[in-house]
Chains A and B, each alone.
Chain A
């Protein structure tokens, strides 16, 4: 079966992805949120596996992770919540999480479970490229999981080429220097960066994340790229409104 992410990337439109922390705002909101996001027309979803020490995340996502953990979220519980998700949801699902919880679950067992419930890919910010290729790529491949790597405005051209070569899905393009939720908007610096990457003609499409929060930033971010990911802004919405009004939020974006 062709990976759902790869299939989605072939569609002729700008893709919108949403991130949320599993187990937030309430422990058992996971499948409700996923279903509502799909119904609202979101193209794919990043399900955040909460971690006690999320280094690359700002206060908003750290807080939603902390609340999720307090609510009792665990790796095992997330998999059991997702057990029947493929009977209901057809868009690509990605788990985004830090490496340590996966290491403790066992990387092989984790990947097998992902494949079993119908996860299509993983984003693991603190699993470096060289370690992935040396120790885990074979396992990911065996279970048909796409691994997504990040690039930032500071990533050198040579390294971007390496990451492009190692990727088989999309490249997660971090919009600017900063943790999640810390950007105030896009300016010329981002435009130069977006243009620089566009001119590299990479084999993998790019999806922009960090700093996308409304229709305007979504439009700016997707001018030269395939799509964009919203995280902190959606978490803030959930914080305020709970799981109600998800489609209203998505409609404000596009």
Chain B
């Protein structure tokens, strides 16, 4: 197997359309960066453009800035929460290019041209998304701090099940995956709610899933 059949890496790389663009490669190191914050070496800043909730933003950031801090501090979108800053709670969950991630464990500079959706892009207090309304109807939160992350995950979970992506509790990996309580619970487990609203969150998600079915 591999030793005999390993493809030629270089030829494969050349098929990758943008990677053969030498000029693009030259541009990459360092990036352009007017050092705005006092005393930061210009190489330690990067200008990045990303689309958040449908709006284009171009910001120059300390390379160390996480996507979460870029959203909360630079763009002042404080819906995504900082609960642990280490990928251990899920309060910072946002959608990037259609996939939910922990925005605390991603650097903003790594999101050039990405499309980010935060809770603010899902619905506002005056114009709630059905999932947000379901969380209210089922009291799927208490203190509210994990809630934006829970809702971002909840919407993604239903998409993931619909797309047939398996989970730890999926019994048959080759069969169609149903929206069951076990599937929702397992897939929501990366979002901790210390107030313990889990049972109500499950009810909210189940209702939305049923309405959509």
A and B physically associate: no
The interface of chain A, by Cβ under 8 A from chain B, is none
